[in-house]
Amino acid sequence: MNRNAWSVFSVAAAVVCLTAISLPAVADSHEEAAPAYSMIHFDELIPANTPTYEKNAKDWVAAFKEAGAGAEWEWRTYSGPNFTYAFVTDVPNYAYLDGDDERWAAMSEKIGAEKIAKLSAESGAEAHRHELVKEMPELSHMPTGGPGEVGFVRLARHTVKPGMGDRFKELAGKVMEAHKKAGSSMTILASEVHFGEGSYQFVTLAKDAASYYAATTTKSMGAILTEAYGAEQAQAMFKEWRDCITDYETSDWEFRPDLSYMPGMYEEAEMKKEMGGSAE
């Protein structure tokens, strides 16, 4: 992973998307407002470079731990298809990006120029790209209690035809209302792409891939829409969705806490150790 790109777009770091990937940092209720934006940095690898790349990513985590970097430096990492990794950071607003050079210079001084140069040279990534997405809680489905343990992310990316954005968002709102009526336990986070691929992204969180596919097999999207609106309207909604978009793609991502920098998680683990509990 080439962290030099961070000086261009905040602290470049995943979904998912992955949203990228603003992924498992979801509050258990609506009491605490989520960050407004997520910056996603994608690294693409050739298969042979995977061990080198992951070691380098862990070395970056260790360097930030040693430097005592605060929560503002947090990034969450996901591994996805075709040997692609995504690093996600929370961004409160556009103005925050303007101060990135200053923040990065201060952190580089803490870590050390020599170590920064060594880590940057050992990345192993073949290509990089960035996305900036704005979270849309009004088009998200966030059940009471939150998503629980998150180890898997399904990213659905929609490219909407020009002039069809309002129609698409109205339809997406009806879909989320159907999930609510059906009592769906899945957390689905919506975002609008401000920079990157596609127009809108929907990220579904699950404990693991097996849990996600079991839930969607038990009650498919078609079944949820039919239960909420009836078979005829459900079919009309699918047609309307196809009329709104030019492209649609999905991808599966695995949350990688071992490649993530999450100060809050480390503090919790230390507390558990002190109390004699599990550090996992």
Q: Of the spans 78-87, 121-130, 142-151, which averages the highest pLDDT?
A: 78-87
DSSP 81: G
Check pLDDT > 90 for residue 277.
no
**What is the domain extent for residue 209?**
3-274
202 in helix, strand or coil?
A: strand
Residue at 280 is within a domain: no
Task: Give the whole-angstrom CA distance, residue 139 versus residue 154.
Answer: 16
Least confident of 30-44, 117-131, 160-174, 197-211: 30-44
Residue at 255 is within a domain: yes
pLDDT value of residue 274: 57
Mean pLDDT of 88-105: 90
pLDDT digits (tens, 9 = 90+) for 43-77: 999 999 999 999 999 999 999 999 999 999 999 99
CA distances from 59 to 111, 182, 262 (A): 12, 45, 14
Residue at 270 is within a domain: yes
Interhelix angle 165-182/221-229, rounded to 10 degrees, is 80
Q: For the chain, what is the domain count?
A: 1
CB atoms within 10 A of CB 217: 8
Q: Under a CB-based contact definition with an 8 Å cutoff, are residues 147 and 26 in contact?
A: yes
Q: The domain spanning residue 204 has which CATH number? A: 3.30.70.100
pTM, to two decimals = 0.82
Where residue 234 falls (left for φ over 0; alpha for ψ -120 to 50; beta otherwise) is: alpha
pLDDT value of residue 30: 42
Residue 43: burial class (beta carbons within 10 Å; 0-12, 13-18, 19+): buried
Residue at 279 is within a domain: no
Residue at 199 is within a domain: yes
Instruction: Tell me whether strands 152-160 and 245-255 are parallel, antiparallel or unpaired.
Output: antiparallel
Angle of CA points 213, 218, 221, to nearest 5°: 80
Residue type at position 200: Y
Give the percent of the chain with pLDDT over 70: 82
Type and span of the H or E element at 271: helix 263-274
Mean pLDDT of 147-172: 95
Instruction: Provide the pLDDT confidence category of residue 137 given band limits of 50, 70 and 90.
Output: very high
pLDDT digits (tens, 9 = 90+) for 252-271: 999 999 999 999 775 555 54
Give the percent of the chain with pLDDT over 90: 67
pLDDT value of residue 260: 97
